[in-house]
């Protein structure tokens, strides 16, 4: 028996079909080891930045099962994803299993030929790739822990900084400051609806006057004059197809066309990859394998004709692109639609269209500009712009890439036009737009910040930390994000600059290539960094954001007020706090302090008070944070209890709670018992591992609460 180890159960199932009975395929379910949460135990800096890895909670059973199979196997092959992360997972699995000479196989697509060829030609684990991934992990930990600790003290507990997330936040805030500083200026857009035969075409004035007098004069003369076509310019234009998708362009296009967030796009693409429909979705190379290009050309020839074929090769513009990877493309070009859900089908069709179109002939368009004015003169020209497709070429496959062009009727110079209506619309100049998720991905890629696998995670982290909010795909920085970014820009500008972040990415690439050592990279970074952090430990707290409007007076002492940053956002506080505790909302409404309930805390004897939290009113000890007693509403608590006994302590029962990441279920005996699961328990036990079962989805109504159990994601196993 030969044992093949991959990351996901879905991938394991697909691969097992291709390898035959002599192979057993098992999933590690992602990473099996990681740095512990405590930074003191995570990295031995004096010993040379040696990381200390521990088994990830919940992975003991996975390791035990794989280890048992490995001892019986004639050969163990590690077939995790073909990137640094996949290489690191393979190494960690080998270490956890105690494999002396582990074999490593990689494939860019999960097809029968690709999998069988990769398994038949294994190699050793690439120590340089592992070292590069380890360097990234350790760098991020050192950067995040040291800087986050300082932010906890100077801004608020629970916030964070990151080597890549903080530069991304800085970019968002730089744009926000441009918007705040922007001074709008008025201008007028004058549109004349002119009729030619049966067609009415809107012509727009080529000048935009800034005052009402000039605009009104043009409108008046327009009504009084006789209109005529003064010029018609037509120019042929060829549009070349886009390269096949890489990770960043896939995320951008899926956002603009399908409305998918980058994280959602990657989740859907992951499922398509695991099902064998597309190639690996984390890549920065638009290159196509020769076999893939031949298959695309064959599909174009049979579907559209040989005359539509135009073979092209593509290479990355990024100097650090991993050219060993292919673009994101279908594994079978003749399959026009694939996927088990509507979302998967839409994304697959987008990927398919882009790959096929990349090898097709140019589209030919005719760009048209028609100019008109009044015969009496005295007003600026008016123009109408449009285009029409002369020969569709690759747009036959990817028509949505054309955009919304206007098709103009045939006109010639000297043609008379009839004015139907002319009007001036006052507008103001607009500041630069805030970043959309797609726009931020494009900007990060342009500046060399992060890598394909990190873009979605960066945006998700900014949202999870409360630094940005998302409204219709647009990212808005919060007050907290503003304060944190301002603090970092003022005190650690060098460490969140484009140059530093991109330079670190280059150094990680050099480690992967063997041109640089792990230790040298750590030493060059950490010494100056810790010195910079230590130098800022005595600065004042940064929760004061400036003076309030002078008209806003303290409701208690009638003194001046200042703007403060609190847990739920900004508010107005008396400038003499803590001597005076007067406070107002930003709108000016008085904020009253916690109201005493008349009861005493059973833990410390202090008065219990009513507070307002993120999820409404609750009762807690007035001595918080020294005493963290919270009184539950008996009626509400009874509603949240499930009646399912806690499987860990047996004393409490599982009840619904709400945390920073949403609803979860835990033992009523907390904090003595800290057992918790993500979804509502059903009361049944998993037939495979014995752990508590919980509610699942419409298609899978029940699943195991243990992440390490295959029944945790039974839909991936086809159950």
CA-closest candidate to residue 390, choices 241, 199, 239 = 239
Model confidence at 1, in pLDDT bands (50, 70, 90)?
confident
Question: What's the whole-number mean pLDDT along residues 509-527?
Answer: 93
Are the C-beta atoms of 329 and 292 separated by less than 8 Å? yes
Residue 614 has what pLDDT? 59
Whether 161 has a pLDDT exceeding 70, the answer reads: yes
Rounded to whole angstroms, the Cα distance separating 686 from 557 reads: 63
- Would you state the pLDDT for residue 318? 53
Examine residue 625 and say whether the peptide bond preceding it is cis (omega within 30 degrees of 0): yes
- Residue 195's pLDDT is 96
> Torsions phi, psi of 392, nearest 5?
-70, -35
Report if pTM > 0.85.
no
| H helix or E strand, kind and range, residue 343 | helix 342-357
Least confident of 235-249, 261-275, 324-338, 631-645: 631-645
Q: Is the pLDDT of residue 632 over 80?
A: no
Residue 719 has pLDDT above 70, yes or no: no
Q: State the pLDDT confidence band at 323, using cuts at 50, 70 and 90.
A: very low
Nearest to 12 by CA among 69, 54, 55, 57: 69
Judged against a pLDDT cut of 90, whether residue 699 lies above it is answered with no
CA distance 202 to 204: 7
For range 224-234, the mean pLDDT: 96
Residue 297 has pLDDT above 60, yes or no: yes
pLDDT at site 613: 67
Give the residue numbers annotated as catalytic, written as ranges. Answer: 280
Predicted pLDDT of residue 558: 93
Q: Any idea which of 192-206, 496-510, 565-579 has the lowest mean pLDDT?
A: 565-579
Query: What does the mean pLDDT of the chain come to?
Result: 89
DSSP H stretches of helix in 159-234: 165-181, 212-224
Cβ within 8 Å of residue 153, ≥6 positions away? 537, 541
**Strand duo 75-78 + 103-104: pairing:** parallel
pLDDT in tens, 36-49: 887 678 999 999 99
Percent of the chain with pLDDT over 90: 57
pLDDT at residue 176 above 90?
yes
**Other C-beta atoms within 10 Å of 231: how many?**
15
For residue 147, list its beta bridge partners: none
Mind listing the domains of the chain with CATH numbers? 2-125 (3.40.50.140), 135-181+433-534 (1.10.460.10), 186-240+363-428 (2.70.20.10), 247-357 (1.10.290.10), 544-631 (no CATH), 634-717 (no CATH)
Burial 471-482 (b: 16+ CB within 10 A, else e): eeeebebbbbbb
Minimum mean pLDDT range among 78-87, 286-295, 415-424, 449-458: 449-458
Q: Report pLDDT for 154.
A: 83
What tens digit of pLDDT does each residue of 662-678 get? 789 999 888 789 899 98
Please state, in angstroms and rounded to a whole number, the distance separating the CA atoms of residues 158 and 19.
48
Residue 546's closest CA among 511, 525, 575? 575
- pLDDT above 80 for 637: no
The answer to whether the peptide bond before residue 578 is cis (omega within 30 degrees of 0) is yes
- Please give the pLDDT value at position 414: 95
pLDDT at 319: 47
Map residue 660 onto helix, strand or coil. coil
In angstroms, rounded to a whole number, what is the distance separating the alpha carbons of residues 285 and 314?
A: 8
Of the pLDDT bands very low, low, confident and very high (cuts 50, 70, 90), residue 406 is confident
β strands within 46-138, DSSP E: 50-51, 54-55, 75-78, 103-104
Higher-pLDDT residue of 82, 545: 82
Per-residue pLDDT band for 320 (boundaries 50, 70, 90) equals very low
Residues in the chain: 719
pLDDT band at 169 (very low <50, low <70, confident <90, very high): very high
CA distances from 64 to 16, 96, 300, 428 (A): 20, 10, 50, 66
63-84 average pLDDT score: 91
Whether the pLDDT of residue 339 is over 80: the answer is: yes
Report the pLDDT value the prediction gives residue 616, as an integer from 0 to 100.
Answer: 63
Confidence label for 185 from pLDDT (cuts 50, 70 and 90): very high
| pLDDT tens digit sequence for 74-101 | 899 999 988 888 999 999 999 999 998 8
pLDDT in the model for residue 286: 92
pLDDT score recorded for residue 63: 92
342 and 200 Cβ atoms separated by less than 8 Å = no
- Give the pLDDT score at 431: 95
Q: Which two tokens stand for residue 436?
A: 């959309």
Q: Which of 392, 372, 391 is closest to 380 using CA atoms?
A: 372
pLDDT digits (tens, 9 = 90+) for 116-149: 999 999 999 999 999 999 999 999 999 988 898 8
pLDDT at 708: 75
| Residue whose entry in the numeric block shows the structure tokens 């995320």 | 251
Q: Which helix (H) or strand (E) holds 501?
A: helix 498-513
Q: How far apart are CA 412 and CA 481, in angstroms?
A: 57
Find the range with the poorest average confidence among 113-127, 297-311, 543-557.
543-557
pLDDT at res. 124: 94
327, 286 Cβ separation under 8 angstroms: yes
């Amino acid at each position: 028996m030969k044992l093949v180890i991959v990351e996901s159960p879905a991938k394991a199932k697909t691969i097992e079909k291709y390898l035959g009975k002599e192979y057993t395929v098992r999933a590690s379910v992602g990473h099996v080891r990681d740095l512990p949460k405590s930074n003191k135990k995570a990295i031995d800096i004096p010993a040379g930045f040696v990381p200390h890895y521990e088994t990830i909670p919940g992975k003991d059973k996975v390791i035990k099962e794989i280890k048992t199979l490995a001892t019986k196997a004639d050969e163990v092959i590690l077939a995790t994803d073909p990137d640094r992360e996949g290489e690191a997972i393979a190494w960690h699995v080998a270490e956890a299993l105690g494999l002396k000479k582990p074999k490593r196989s990689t494939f860019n697509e999960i097809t029968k030929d690709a999998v069988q060829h990769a398994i038949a030609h294994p190699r050793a684990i690439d120590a340089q790739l592992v070292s590069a991934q380890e360097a990234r992990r350790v760098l991020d930990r050192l950067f995040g822990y040291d800087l986050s600790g300082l932010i906890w003290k100077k801004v608020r507990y629970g916030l964070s900084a990151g080597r890549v997330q903080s530069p991304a936040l800085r970019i968002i805030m730089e744009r926000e400051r441009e918007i705040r500083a922007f001074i709008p200026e008025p201008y007028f857009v004058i549109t004349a609806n002119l009729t030619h035969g049966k067609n009415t075409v809107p012509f727009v004035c080529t000048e935009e006057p800034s005052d009402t007098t000039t605009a009104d004069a043009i409108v008046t003369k327009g009504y009084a004059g006789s209109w005529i076509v003064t010029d018609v310019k037509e120019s042929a234009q060829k549009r070349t197809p886009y390269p096949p998708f890489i990770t960043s362009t896939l995320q951008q296009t899926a956002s603009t066309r399908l409305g998918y967030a980058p994280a959602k796009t990657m989740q859907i693409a992951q499922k398509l990859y695991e099902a064998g429909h597309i190639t690996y979705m984390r890549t920065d190379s638009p290159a196509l394998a020769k076999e893939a290009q031949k298959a695309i050309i064959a599909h174009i020839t049979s579907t559209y004709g040989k005359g539509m074929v135009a073979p092209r090769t593509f290479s990355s513009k990024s100097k650090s692109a991993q050219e060993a990877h292919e673009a994101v493309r279908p594994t079978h070009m003749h399959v026009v639609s694939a996927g088990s859900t509507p979302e998967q089908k839409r994304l697959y069709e987008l990927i398919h269209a882009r790959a096929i179109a990349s090898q097709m002939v140019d589209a030919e368009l005719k760009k048209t500009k028609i100019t008109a004015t009044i015969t009496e003169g005295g007003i600026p020209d008016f123009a109408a712009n449009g285009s029409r497709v002369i020969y569709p070429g690759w747009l036959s496959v990817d028509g949505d890439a054309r955009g919304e062009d206007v098709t103009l009727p045939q006109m010639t110079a000297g043609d008379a036009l009839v004015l139907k209506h002319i009007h001036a619309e006052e507008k103001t100049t607009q500041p630069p737009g805030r970043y959309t998720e797609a726009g931020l991905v494009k900007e990060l890629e342009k500046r060399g910040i992060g890598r394909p696998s990190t873009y979605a995670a960066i945006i998700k982290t900014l949202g999870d930390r409360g630094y940005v909010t998302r409204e219709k795909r647009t990212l808005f920085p919060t007050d907290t994000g503003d304060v944190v970014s301002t603090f970092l820009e003022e005190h650690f500008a060098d460490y969140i600059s484009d140059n530093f972040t991109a330079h670190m990415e280059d150094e990680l690439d050099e480690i992967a290539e063997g041109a640089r050592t792990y230790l040298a990279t750590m030493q060059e970074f950490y010494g100056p960094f810790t010195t910079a952090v230590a130098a800022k430990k005595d600065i004042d707290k940064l929760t004061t954001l400036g003076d309030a409007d002078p008209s806003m007076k303290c409701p208690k002492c009638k003194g001046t007020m200042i703007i403060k940053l609190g847990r739920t956002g900004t508010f107005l506080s008396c400038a003499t706090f803590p001597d005076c505790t007067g406070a107002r909302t930003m709108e000016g409404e008085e904020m009253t302090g916690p109201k005493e309930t008349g009861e005493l805390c059973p833990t410390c004897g202090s008065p219990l008070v009513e507070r307002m939290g993120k999820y409404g009113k609750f009762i807690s000890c007035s001595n918080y944070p020294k005493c963290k007693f919270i009184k539950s509403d008996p009626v509400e608590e009874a509603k949240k209890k499930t009646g399912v006994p806690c499987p860990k302590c047996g004393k409490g029962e599982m009840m619904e709670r709400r945390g920073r990441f949403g609803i979860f279920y835990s033992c009523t005996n907390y904090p003595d018992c800290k057992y918790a699961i993500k979804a509502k328990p059903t009361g049944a036990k998993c037939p495979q591992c014995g752990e508590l079962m919980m509610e699942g989805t419409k298609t899978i109504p029940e699943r195991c609460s243990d992440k390490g159990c295959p029944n945790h994601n039974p839909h991936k196993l086809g159950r």
